[in-house]
Copies of this chain bind each other. A is one copy, B any other.
Amino acid sequence: MNSAASEPVLIGIDWGTSSLRACLIGAEGEVLDRVASDEGIMQVEDGDFDAVFDRLIGPWRTGRDLPILASGMITSRNGWVETPYVEMPAGADSLASALVAHETKSGARIHFVTGATTTHATGPDVMRGEETQIIGAAAIGMADGTFVMPGTHSKWVHVAGGRIEDFATYMTGEIFAALSGHTILGRLMEGSGFNADGFAKGVKAALAEDANLLHDLFHVRTLPLMGQIPATETADFLSGLLIGTEIASARRQAGTLGEITIVGRSDLADRYEIALSAAGLKSRRAPDDIVARGHLLIAKAAGLI
Protein backbone atom coordinates (compact mmCIF):
# COMPACT_ATOMS: atom_id res chain seq x y z
CA MET A 1 0.00 0.00 0.00
CA ASN A 2 1.27 3.48 -0.70
CA SER A 3 1.55 6.20 1.89
CA ALA A 4 -1.44 8.30 0.84
CA ALA A 5 -3.16 9.84 3.81
CA SER A 6 -6.62 8.71 2.63
CA GLU A 7 -8.29 5.82 4.30
CA PRO A 8 -9.68 3.10 2.01
CA VAL A 9 -13.46 2.80 1.83
CA LEU A 10 -13.94 0.09 -0.80
CA ILE A 11 -12.32 -2.84 -2.59
CA GLY A 12 -13.20 -2.94 -6.31
CA ILE A 13 -12.44 -5.94 -8.50
CA ASP A 14 -12.61 -5.97 -12.31
CA TRP A 15 -12.42 -9.69 -13.08
CA GLY A 16 -12.50 -10.43 -16.78
CA THR A 17 -11.94 -13.36 -19.11
CA SER A 18 -8.17 -13.01 -19.31
CA SER A 19 -7.17 -10.84 -16.35
CA LEU A 20 -8.06 -9.59 -12.89
CA ARG A 21 -7.46 -6.03 -11.72
CA ALA A 22 -8.37 -4.95 -8.21
CA CYS A 23 -8.14 -1.58 -6.48
CA LEU A 24 -8.19 -0.42 -2.90
CA ILE A 25 -10.27 2.75 -3.24
CA GLY A 26 -10.42 5.96 -1.19
CA ALA A 27 -13.44 8.15 -0.52
CA GLU A 28 -12.82 10.34 -3.56
CA GLY A 29 -12.28 7.41 -5.89
CA GLU A 30 -8.50 7.58 -5.61
CA VAL A 31 -6.65 4.28 -5.99
CA LEU A 32 -4.61 3.60 -2.86
CA ASP A 33 -3.26 0.24 -3.88
CA ARG A 34 -3.72 -2.14 -6.77
CA VAL A 35 -3.30 -5.76 -7.77
CA ALA A 36 -3.16 -7.12 -11.31
CA SER A 37 -3.02 -10.75 -12.38
CA ASP A 38 -3.51 -12.78 -15.53
CA GLU A 39 -5.81 -15.10 -13.59
CA GLY A 40 -8.85 -14.26 -15.70
CA ILE A 41 -11.88 -16.49 -15.27
CA MET A 42 -10.72 -18.88 -17.98
CA GLN A 43 -7.37 -19.35 -16.24
CA VAL A 44 -8.72 -20.22 -12.79
CA GLU A 45 -8.16 -23.93 -12.23
CA ASP A 46 -11.26 -25.95 -11.33
CA GLY A 47 -13.20 -22.70 -10.95
CA ASP A 48 -11.58 -22.20 -7.53
CA PHE A 49 -12.27 -18.46 -7.44
CA ASP A 50 -12.19 -18.52 -3.62
CA ALA A 51 -8.49 -19.41 -3.65
CA VAL A 52 -7.55 -16.65 -6.08
CA PHE A 53 -9.64 -14.13 -4.17
CA ASP A 54 -8.12 -15.05 -0.79
CA ARG A 55 -4.56 -14.92 -2.12
CA LEU A 56 -4.84 -11.65 -4.04
CA ILE A 57 -7.41 -9.69 -2.02
CA GLY A 58 -6.94 -11.25 1.43
CA PRO A 59 -4.10 -8.92 2.49
CA TRP A 60 -6.34 -5.84 2.04
CA ARG A 61 -8.96 -7.37 4.34
CA THR A 62 -6.65 -7.96 7.31
CA GLY A 63 -7.89 -5.87 10.22
CA ARG A 64 -10.47 -4.07 8.05
CA ASP A 65 -14.07 -4.71 7.06
CA LEU A 66 -14.44 -2.95 3.72
CA PRO A 67 -17.30 -3.43 1.26
CA ILE A 68 -16.23 -5.36 -1.85
CA LEU A 69 -17.63 -4.92 -5.36
CA ALA A 70 -16.72 -7.13 -8.30
CA SER A 71 -17.66 -6.67 -11.97
CA GLY A 72 -16.79 -8.28 -15.30
CA MET A 73 -17.08 -11.75 -16.78
CA ILE A 74 -16.81 -13.14 -13.24
CA THR A 75 -20.64 -12.91 -13.24
CA SER A 76 -21.04 -14.92 -16.45
CA ARG A 77 -21.96 -18.57 -16.89
CA ASN A 78 -18.27 -19.52 -16.71
CA GLY A 79 -17.63 -17.24 -13.73
CA TRP A 80 -18.09 -17.43 -9.98
CA VAL A 81 -21.77 -16.50 -9.65
CA GLU A 82 -23.95 -16.08 -12.74
CA THR A 83 -26.10 -12.96 -12.42
CA PRO A 84 -28.92 -11.68 -14.63
CA TYR A 85 -28.46 -8.62 -16.85
CA VAL A 86 -29.96 -5.19 -16.23
CA GLU A 87 -31.94 -3.66 -19.06
CA MET A 88 -31.22 -0.35 -20.75
CA PRO A 89 -31.21 2.47 -19.82
CA ALA A 90 -29.00 1.82 -16.79
CA GLY A 91 -27.29 4.16 -14.36
CA ALA A 92 -25.53 3.77 -11.02
CA ASP A 93 -28.91 3.49 -9.28
CA SER A 94 -30.19 0.56 -11.33
CA LEU A 95 -26.84 -1.22 -11.12
CA ALA A 96 -26.86 -0.65 -7.33
CA SER A 97 -30.36 -2.13 -7.05
CA ALA A 98 -29.28 -5.18 -9.03
CA LEU A 99 -26.16 -6.04 -6.98
CA VAL A 100 -25.94 -9.74 -6.15
CA ALA A 101 -24.31 -10.55 -2.79
CA HIS A 102 -22.25 -13.70 -2.30
CA GLU A 103 -20.36 -14.93 0.73
CA THR A 104 -16.95 -16.51 0.07
CA LYS A 105 -15.70 -19.59 1.91
CA SER A 106 -13.42 -17.34 3.94
CA GLY A 107 -16.41 -15.25 5.04
CA ALA A 108 -16.01 -12.18 2.80
CA ARG A 109 -19.16 -10.67 1.36
CA ILE A 110 -18.79 -9.73 -2.33
CA HIS A 111 -21.37 -7.62 -4.13
CA PHE A 112 -21.38 -8.55 -7.81
CA VAL A 113 -22.25 -5.82 -10.31
CA THR A 114 -24.43 -7.53 -12.85
CA GLY A 115 -23.97 -7.13 -16.61
CA ALA A 116 -26.18 -5.15 -18.98
CA THR A 117 -28.34 -6.15 -21.93
CA THR A 118 -30.13 -4.38 -24.75
CA THR A 119 -32.32 -5.67 -27.55
CA HIS A 120 -32.25 -4.39 -31.12
CA ALA A 121 -34.50 -5.53 -33.92
CA THR A 122 -31.80 -7.96 -35.07
CA GLY A 123 -31.01 -9.52 -31.71
CA PRO A 124 -29.89 -9.04 -28.12
CA ASP A 125 -26.57 -7.63 -26.98
CA VAL A 126 -24.77 -8.08 -23.69
CA MET A 127 -21.81 -6.80 -21.72
CA ARG A 128 -20.26 -7.55 -18.34
CA GLY A 129 -17.78 -5.13 -16.81
CA GLU A 130 -17.90 -2.32 -19.36
CA GLU A 131 -21.05 -0.89 -17.72
CA THR A 132 -19.05 -0.22 -14.53
CA GLN A 133 -16.31 1.59 -16.46
CA ILE A 134 -18.87 3.77 -18.23
CA ILE A 135 -20.56 4.67 -14.93
CA GLY A 136 -17.11 5.59 -13.62
CA ALA A 137 -16.37 7.83 -16.59
CA ALA A 138 -19.72 9.52 -16.12
CA ALA A 139 -18.76 10.21 -12.50
CA ILE A 140 -15.82 12.35 -13.60
CA GLY A 141 -17.63 14.58 -16.06
CA MET A 142 -17.95 12.27 -19.07
CA ALA A 143 -21.67 11.85 -18.61
CA ASP A 144 -22.84 12.24 -22.22
CA GLY A 145 -21.80 11.04 -25.65
CA THR A 146 -20.47 7.96 -27.37
CA PHE A 147 -17.77 5.72 -25.91
CA VAL A 148 -15.77 3.13 -27.80
CA MET A 149 -14.14 0.38 -25.75
CA PRO A 150 -11.64 -1.46 -27.97
CA GLY A 151 -11.02 -5.13 -27.27
CA THR A 152 -11.58 -8.66 -28.48
CA HIS A 153 -15.23 -7.65 -28.64
CA SER A 154 -15.30 -3.88 -28.85
CA LYS A 155 -18.27 -2.01 -27.43
CA TRP A 156 -19.86 1.22 -28.65
CA VAL A 157 -21.82 2.77 -25.81
CA HIS A 158 -24.21 5.72 -25.98
CA VAL A 159 -24.47 7.63 -22.70
CA ALA A 160 -26.82 10.45 -21.70
CA GLY A 161 -27.07 12.14 -18.31
CA GLY A 162 -24.75 9.58 -16.76
CA ARG A 163 -26.92 6.66 -17.84
CA ILE A 164 -26.15 4.05 -20.47
CA GLU A 165 -28.83 4.44 -23.13
CA ASP A 166 -27.75 1.75 -25.58
CA PHE A 167 -24.71 -0.16 -26.78
CA ALA A 168 -23.51 -2.52 -29.50
CA THR A 169 -20.77 -5.13 -29.62
CA TYR A 170 -18.47 -5.52 -32.63
CA MET A 171 -16.46 -8.74 -32.92
CA THR A 172 -13.58 -6.95 -34.65
CA GLY A 173 -10.70 -8.12 -32.45
CA GLU A 174 -11.64 -11.77 -32.42
CA ILE A 175 -12.32 -11.72 -36.16
CA PHE A 176 -8.87 -10.24 -36.78
CA ALA A 177 -7.31 -13.09 -34.82
CA ALA A 178 -9.33 -15.78 -36.61
CA LEU A 179 -8.65 -14.40 -40.09
CA SER A 180 -4.95 -13.76 -39.60
CA GLY A 181 -4.40 -17.06 -37.79
CA HIS A 182 -6.68 -19.43 -39.61
CA THR A 183 -7.19 -18.32 -43.22
CA ILE A 184 -5.05 -17.82 -46.30
CA LEU A 185 -4.84 -14.11 -45.39
CA GLY A 186 -2.18 -14.84 -42.78
CA ARG A 187 0.12 -16.64 -45.20
CA LEU A 188 1.74 -13.56 -46.69
CA MET A 189 2.05 -11.59 -43.44
CA GLU A 190 5.56 -10.61 -42.40
CA GLY A 191 7.14 -8.49 -39.72
CA SER A 192 5.96 -7.44 -36.31
CA GLY A 193 5.18 -4.12 -34.64
CA PHE A 194 2.71 -1.55 -35.88
CA ASN A 195 2.92 -0.64 -39.56
CA ALA A 196 1.24 2.76 -39.87
CA ASP A 197 1.16 2.77 -43.69
CA GLY A 198 -0.55 -0.60 -43.93
CA PHE A 199 -3.04 0.38 -41.24
CA ALA A 200 -3.88 3.68 -42.94
CA LYS A 201 -4.48 1.93 -46.28
CA GLY A 202 -6.83 -0.56 -44.64
CA VAL A 203 -8.79 2.17 -42.87
CA LYS A 204 -9.09 4.14 -46.13
CA ALA A 205 -10.44 1.10 -47.99
CA ALA A 206 -12.98 0.50 -45.23
CA LEU A 207 -14.19 4.11 -45.26
CA ALA A 208 -14.59 4.22 -49.06
CA GLU A 209 -18.05 4.80 -50.48
CA ASP A 210 -18.15 1.35 -52.08
CA ALA A 211 -16.52 -0.55 -49.20
CA ASN A 212 -17.45 -4.22 -49.31
CA LEU A 213 -15.89 -6.16 -46.47
CA LEU A 214 -16.29 -9.79 -47.59
CA HIS A 215 -14.70 -8.83 -50.92
CA ASP A 216 -12.17 -6.26 -49.69
CA LEU A 217 -10.70 -8.84 -47.31
CA PHE A 218 -9.41 -10.70 -50.36
CA HIS A 219 -7.17 -7.70 -51.05
CA VAL A 220 -5.20 -8.64 -47.93
CA ARG A 221 -3.99 -11.48 -50.14
CA THR A 222 -4.01 -9.98 -53.65
CA LEU A 223 -2.24 -6.70 -52.83
CA PRO A 224 0.96 -8.38 -51.60
CA LEU A 225 0.56 -11.20 -54.16
CA MET A 226 0.63 -8.63 -56.97
CA GLY A 227 3.41 -6.65 -55.31
CA GLN A 228 1.16 -3.66 -54.60
CA ILE A 229 1.87 -3.53 -50.87
CA PRO A 230 4.84 -5.05 -49.05
CA ALA A 231 4.23 -8.17 -46.97
CA THR A 232 5.19 -6.15 -43.88
CA GLU A 233 2.04 -4.00 -44.32
CA THR A 234 -0.36 -6.88 -44.69
CA ALA A 235 -1.29 -7.58 -41.06
CA ASP A 236 -2.00 -3.93 -40.30
CA PHE A 237 -3.86 -3.50 -43.57
CA LEU A 238 -6.23 -6.20 -42.28
CA SER A 239 -6.42 -4.50 -38.87
CA GLY A 240 -7.23 -1.14 -40.50
CA LEU A 241 -9.82 -2.71 -42.79
CA LEU A 242 -11.67 -4.25 -39.83
CA ILE A 243 -11.44 -1.29 -37.44
CA GLY A 244 -12.36 1.11 -40.25
CA THR A 245 -15.39 -1.03 -41.10
CA GLU A 246 -16.43 -1.01 -37.45
CA ILE A 247 -16.23 2.79 -37.29
CA ALA A 248 -18.09 3.27 -40.57
CA SER A 249 -20.81 0.88 -39.37
CA ALA A 250 -21.12 2.54 -35.96
CA ARG A 251 -21.47 5.94 -37.62
CA ARG A 252 -24.09 4.65 -40.04
CA GLN A 253 -26.08 3.12 -37.16
CA ALA A 254 -25.88 6.32 -35.10
CA GLY A 255 -26.75 8.67 -37.94
CA THR A 256 -24.16 11.17 -36.74
CA LEU A 257 -21.48 10.92 -34.10
CA GLY A 258 -19.94 13.71 -32.05
CA GLU A 259 -16.70 13.42 -30.14
CA ILE A 260 -15.91 9.81 -29.25
CA THR A 261 -14.40 8.87 -25.90
CA ILE A 262 -11.90 6.03 -26.23
CA VAL A 263 -11.63 3.83 -23.16
CA GLY A 264 -8.29 2.12 -22.64
CA ARG A 265 -4.60 2.79 -23.03
CA SER A 266 -3.65 -0.18 -25.15
CA ASP A 267 -2.01 -0.33 -28.55
CA LEU A 268 -5.49 -1.17 -29.79
CA ALA A 269 -6.86 2.08 -28.37
CA ASP A 270 -4.13 3.94 -30.28
CA ARG A 271 -5.33 2.30 -33.49
CA TYR A 272 -8.89 3.48 -32.87
CA GLU A 273 -7.62 7.02 -32.32
CA ILE A 274 -5.88 6.96 -35.71
CA ALA A 275 -8.85 5.42 -37.49
CA LEU A 276 -11.39 7.79 -35.93
CA SER A 277 -9.26 10.72 -37.06
CA ALA A 278 -9.10 9.29 -40.60
CA ALA A 279 -12.91 9.09 -40.50
CA GLY A 280 -13.07 12.79 -39.58
CA LEU A 281 -14.26 12.05 -36.05
CA LYS A 282 -12.91 13.78 -32.97
CA SER A 283 -11.84 11.65 -30.06
CA ARG A 284 -10.55 11.97 -26.51
CA ARG A 285 -9.23 9.44 -24.01
CA ALA A 286 -10.92 8.38 -20.82
CA PRO A 287 -8.51 8.44 -17.87
CA ASP A 288 -7.25 5.29 -16.21
CA ASP A 289 -9.03 3.87 -13.20
CA ILE A 290 -12.54 4.74 -14.31
CA VAL A 291 -13.56 1.27 -13.21
CA ALA A 292 -12.62 2.19 -9.59
CA ARG A 293 -14.74 5.34 -9.94
CA GLY A 294 -17.58 3.16 -11.17
CA HIS A 295 -17.27 0.75 -8.26
CA LEU A 296 -17.32 3.70 -5.83
CA LEU A 297 -20.37 5.33 -7.40
CA ILE A 298 -22.34 2.08 -7.45
CA ALA A 299 -21.34 1.24 -3.86
CA LYS A 300 -22.51 4.69 -2.73
CA ALA A 301 -25.78 4.36 -4.64
CA ALA A 302 -26.32 1.03 -2.89
CA GLY A 303 -25.70 2.56 0.54
CA LEU A 304 -22.65 0.37 1.15
CA ILE A 305 -20.50 3.40 1.94
Q: A-side interface residues toward B, CB under 8 Å?
A: 117, 121-126, 153, 168-172, 174-175, 177-179, 181-185, 205, 208, 210-219, 222-223, 225-226, 228, 242, 245-246, 249, 252-253
Contacts and interface: CB of A to CB of B under 8 A. Distances in A.
A251 to B, nearest CB: 11
Contacts of A228: 123-124
A153 B184 CA distance: 11
Given A205-B122, A253-B210, A178 B182 contact: yes
Nearest to A243: B214
A56 B215 CA distance: 36
Q: Is the interface of A mostly helix, strand, loop or mixed?
A: helix
A116 to B, nearest CB: 13
Contacts of A223: 123-124
Contact of A245 (B124, B214, B242): B214
Can you tell how many copies of this chain the complex includes?
Answer: 2
> Of residues A123, A175, A181, A245, which shows the largest number of chain B Cβ atoms within 10 Å of its Cβ?
A123
A219 B175 contact: no
A125 B222 contact: yes
Given A124-B226, A223-B124, A213 B213 contact: yes
Contact of A183 (B126, B170, B175, B219): B175
Contacts of A181: 182
> Of residues A172, A185, A217, A242, which shows the largest number of chain B Cβ atoms within 10 Å of its Cβ?
A217
A12 B231 CA distance: 36
A225 to B, nearest CB: 7
Contacts of A217: 171, 175
B122 A219 contact: yes
16 contacts: A122-B205, A122-B208, A124-B226, A126-B225, A126-B226, A168-B212, A169-B215, A171-B185, A174-B183, A174-B184, A175-B214, A212-B249, A212-B252, A213-B214, A213-B245, A214-B249
B253 A222 contact: no
B183 A124 contact: no
> Of residues A172, A212, A213, A215, which shows the largest number of chain B Cβ atoms within 10 Å of its Cβ?
A215
A218 B122 CA distance: 10
A184 B170 CA distance: 13
Nearest to A211: B122
Contacts of A168: 212, 215
A171 B123 contact: no
A184 B78 CA distance: 13
Nearest to A204: B122
A4 to B, nearest CB: 40
A67 B8 CA distance: 87
